Amino acid sequence: MDLAYEAGRNGPMRRKAPMQRDNHTARTFLVLLDRTLLALSAVTTAILFAWVLYYSSYGLNLADEGLYLNFIANPFLYAINIPPSLFGFVYHWPYQWVGGDVAVLRMANVTFTVALGWILSFLVIWRFWTVGWPHVAVLSAGMASLALIGYSHFRLLTPSYYTLTFQSLLMVMIGLLLADWPGRIHQVLGWILVGAGGWCCFMAKPTTAAAIALVVVLYVVVLRRKSLLPMLGAALVALALLIVTAYVIDGGITGLVTRMVNNAEMELLLGAGHEVPLMFRIDGLATSRSQLAIAVLAAIALLLSILMGATHKLLPSLVLAAVLIVTIAIALLGTDPISIKPTTLFLVPAFTCLGAMFYRKGIVLRIQAPTTIALTITFLVLPHAFALGSAINYWFLGSMGALFWILAVVVFLSPLAQQGRSVATLVPLAVFAQLLTASIINGSILKPFRQVKDLRGYTAVTPMPGGGKLVLAQSFHDYLATARAQARAGGLEVGTPVVDLTGISPSLLYVLETRALGLPWLVGGYPGSNAVAVETLGLENCADLAKAWLLIEPEGQYQLDQASIMSSFGAGQADYVAVATFDPPVFEGAYPNQHKRFLFKPVRLAALAEQSCREARRQRPHSQKWSQ
């Protein structure tokens, strides 16, 4: 009987031992798989970041980037700013710190943006999900890779009002999250950051600054039902910074107000579609059937990986690892089987949230807290606040802030953290963000905005002002090298004032190290382009106009009216002689019909030209005079 008892007691134990070993092995394997997936995600993020940094020294936009560089290099030279942004003053000191090296400036710009995106993503995950800090660090970095998408739309890594606006919104949201944390230090630091971000946003894009101010008020007072006093403190920080800015830039508040009013008037005179009634509009979400299908399939795959990941970890983990490998392949090899378009960046998060509403009879909706609802709504509207005031489609431009959309999903799905699904939910979202980032950036490298196709084929190392170098397409390099050699041979010196009447060549003026008169870019092609050129050149000193050179493209599509603009400062064709002629490269899809450009040198005596300029200004109708 004792033997039977012992056999009965020990028998089951002997049978369970293999099962326990199997369970232990399975758990060890899953832990190893989880760590491997986390490490692979970290490696993917590093590759994406290094990828963009590597191509920071590649390419140069013929038009827009010249505007940014001319303004950043010499912001105090211009009394009018079109677009009505003061971003050049903010980036002027970083430009000087890097010695004018464009490639280094781009790298610093990208690094700062990604760092802000990483901090914001980290705070969101740490606040609403229950995961350890290693997971938070890696997953938030994966999601923050979406911050790189902002540089892919126009393939412009150089700091601009777009990048400053995005950076400002990130700062404001970081501040709001910090202000909600317990502890006096967090709250004070948070509201200071909100105020600083608001000031940066005003410097970048006043329309977005007004929108984000309204968003903060609604978030704090209406949605979160908190005191108005801390927000007033943030407003005081922004006001103090604005007052200091006014005295540094224009000698006082009155001067800054006058500048902003004049900027708005010039913007309306240009007729580029920035009128106030046109700002408040609902644009259509332009998408194709293929992109719609991709969005639906991606949302379904994302939901399946999220909902299956908590119970069946092996298959979702293997699929996610495969997706990360594909992401790395896109970055390293340039092959993209997906080809995601920017507007699709909204559809996938939207379909994901919609599908999650039906999970377990709407558990995600039923246990939402007021904080998560408020923050989800805020993140959803931020991309449109970013685009407010632009003439570009709001969905397209807003997709530069796609990071906010994915963070809206992160906050919206946070009730799943109570179901123990933190890692299972966040890993697919991070991997999805990395895949989208790789696809969008790869497309911008293959087809850079207003440049020769495929940056990977660029080989010509071209010296830039400040001692830096950029790698350009051979045709663009030859154009710039020829223009620089002929201009120097013709007597053009560094710092010489130039009136660009091509309407499209601010980057050439930057490379030649000249001073663009009137505006950093006298843009052509708009109904009021000629009128804006006349008015802004009317603000220049006659002594500078008297010795200014001319750059023209007589048969160009964007050519400004040479005769009327020159007559506004008392000059004519006979007062100049051509010293250089060069052919610009053809950019397929952007500038397919460019023509010869001519650089003219003034031949009149400077005193005579200056007197003629003053006489021309006295004869102009009083309503058109901005200065004498």
Q: Residue 444 in contact with residue 400, Cβ under 8 Å?
A: no
Reply yes or no: is the peptide bond before residue 277 cis, omega within 30 of 0.
no
pLDDT in the model for residue 19: 55
Reply yes or no: is the peptide bond before residue 83 cis, omega within 30 of 0.
yes
- What is the rounded average pLDDT of the residues 558-568? 94
Query: Would the pLDDT of 310 be above 80?
Result: no
Tens digits of residue pLDDT in 502-550: 999 999 999 999 999 999 999 999 999 999 999 999 999 999 999 999 9
Give bridge partners of residue 472 from the DSSP assignment. 460
CA 114 distance to own-chain centroid? 11
Per-residue three-class SS string for 493-508: CCCCEEEECCCCCHHH
Query: Would the pLDDT of 403 be above 80?
Result: yes
- What is the rounded average pLDDT of the residues 234-258? 96
- 25 versus 134: the higher-pLDDT residue is 134
Query: Would the pLDDT of 348 be above 70?
Result: yes
Tens digits of residue pLDDT in 20-69: 555 566 567 667 878 889 999 999 999 999 999 999 999 999 889 999 99
How many CA atoms, within 13 angstroms, populate the side-chain half-sphere of residue 386?
Answer: 31
**Structure-token pair, residue 595:** 């023509």
Mean pLDDT, the chain, whole residue set: 89
Distances (CA, A) of 233 to 192, 238, 240, 245: 8, 9, 11, 18
CA 151 distance to own-chain centroid? 5
Hey, how many other C-beta atoms are within 10 angstroms of the C-beta on 574? 8
Strand 549-552 and strand 497-500: the pairing is parallel
DSSP secondary structure string for all residues of 30-87: HHHHHHHHHHHHHHHHHHHHHHHHHGGGB---SSHHHHHHHHHHSGGG-S--SSS--H
- 420 versus 371: the higher-pLDDT residue is 371
* Domain extent listing, the chain: 35-446, 474-619
Query: Would the pLDDT of 304 be above 90?
Result: no
pLDDT in the model for residue 22: 53
Give bridge partners of residue 550 from the DSSP assignment. 499, 600
Q: Residue 326 in contact with residue 374, Cβ under 8 Å?
A: no
* Residues above pLDDT 70, as percent of the chain: 91
CA 38 distance to own-chain centroid? 28
